[in-house]
Amino acid sequence: MLPSTKQPTFATAAGVLGLMALLGGGTLLMHLRDKPPDPKVLALAAPHCSDSTATSPAATEPFSIAVQAESATLPEDLEHKIAVGAEAAYAQWREWLGDDALLHSRINIRFVGDDQQFRQIYGKPNADDWTTTGFYRMRSNEALILYTPEYQPLALGNAFHEISHLVTAAHLGATPPWLNEGLAEYYETLDVVDDDVRFAKNPLHIQLLRRRGALSVDAMTTLSRKEWMQEDAQRRYASAWSFISFMLHSEDGRRTLQRVVQQAYSQRCAARPDLRKTLADYPGGLQALESDWVAWLRDNLRVEATAPIDQAL
Ligand SMILES: [Zn+2]
């Protein structure tokens, strides 16, 4: 069994992130991709790199979240679940960066129940190959989530995913996709039970990893955003999800991930921060990191091994 991820309560308003991959009624819904802003936009949005008022470090307002429904009726407990997840995520960021660096802001979550309206808001009302079910906007500090009947079972997870991107970008600016997407996937899959969040295993990611293996650490951490989003991205998302899960559920992993996040914070104005040196500070170096991850995959997810690097992309 994996340990619970129960976190201390974040003592202010309604909270933010959590996660869960809720597969409704036995129906397998593919997790469709989100569309984060350009990394250059993220760098500009990072604290101390711009005049961003939405996430100003000097803000005195407590962290809060507002949930809106547009052309949709939301279940009564959705807002509560988002608050619980958000509190857990903020507790994690507080542990990583400390109170002084933690940004307090108001995040708006907009659930949109009409597909056409969602595309309109995104700015592509006539797109044919539409796969986006959630996206976020730094400028307005909001996440937009598609809430048509088909995607309602995934909406909470999608919201957690996009909120994670907002919080990560606000604190770190541009980050490599393995970290940014790995964190978002991790929070997306968290399960909310009453007032707690618990780590949950993402069945689609596990299925894929068992079939094809995860990327190597080396391959995964050298991919650019453009390379990450190329065809067959699902394997990269699955790899990053399991990598962040491993890091957060092992002692050396937690310590190393905290140093990585702190390193990213110190480089938050850089367009392409290099975090691999910090990763290599893992006890035993990158080789030990890789082998511990492989062992974790085997022991916790019954995934046997990572695939050869030449199959990485
Ligand atoms: Zn994402």
Q: How many whole angstroms from 236 Cα to the centroid of ligand 1?
A: 11
Residue 306 banded pLDDT, cuts 50, 70, 90: low
Q: How many whole angstroms from 1 Cα to the centroid of ligand 1?
A: 27
The two structure tokens encoding residue 265: 């914070």
40: three-class secondary structure by DSSP: helix
Q: Measuring CA to CA, which residue among 266, 265, 58, 276 is closest to residue 170?
A: 265
Q: Is the pTM of this model over 0.75?
A: yes
Q: How many whole angstroms from 176 Cα to the centroid of ligand 1?
A: 12
Q: What is the mean pLDDT of residues 135-145?
A: 92
Indicate the domain borders of the chain.
24-311
pLDDT of residue 304: 82
Q: How many whole angstroms from 165 Cα to the centroid of ligand 1?
A: 7
Q: Measuring CA to CA, which residue among 150, 146, 144 is closest to residue 133?
A: 146
Contacts 24+ apart (CB under 8 A), 271-278: 271/39, 271/40, 271/43, 271/174, 272/39, 272/174, 272/176, 273/172, 273/173, 273/174, 273/175, 273/176, 275/175, 275/176, 275/179, 275/221, 276/221, 276/222
Mean pLDDT lowest for which of 11-15, 160-164, 194-198, 268-272?
A: 11-15
Q: What is the mean pLDDT of residues 115-136?
A: 88
Q: How many whole angstroms from 36 Cα to the centroid of ligand 1?
A: 6
Query: Rounded CA gap, 72 and 112, in Å?
Result: 6
* Host H or E run for residue 93: helix 78-97
Query: Rounded CA gap, 247 and 258, in Å?
Result: 10
Q: Measuring CA to CA, which residue among 273, 257, 275, 262 is closest to residue 97?
A: 262
Q: 272 pLDDT exceeds 80?
A: no
Residues with CB under 5 A from ligand 1 (ion): 34, 181, 184
Lookup result for tokens 């491993």? 246
Vertex 46, ends 41 and 52: CA angle to 5°?
85
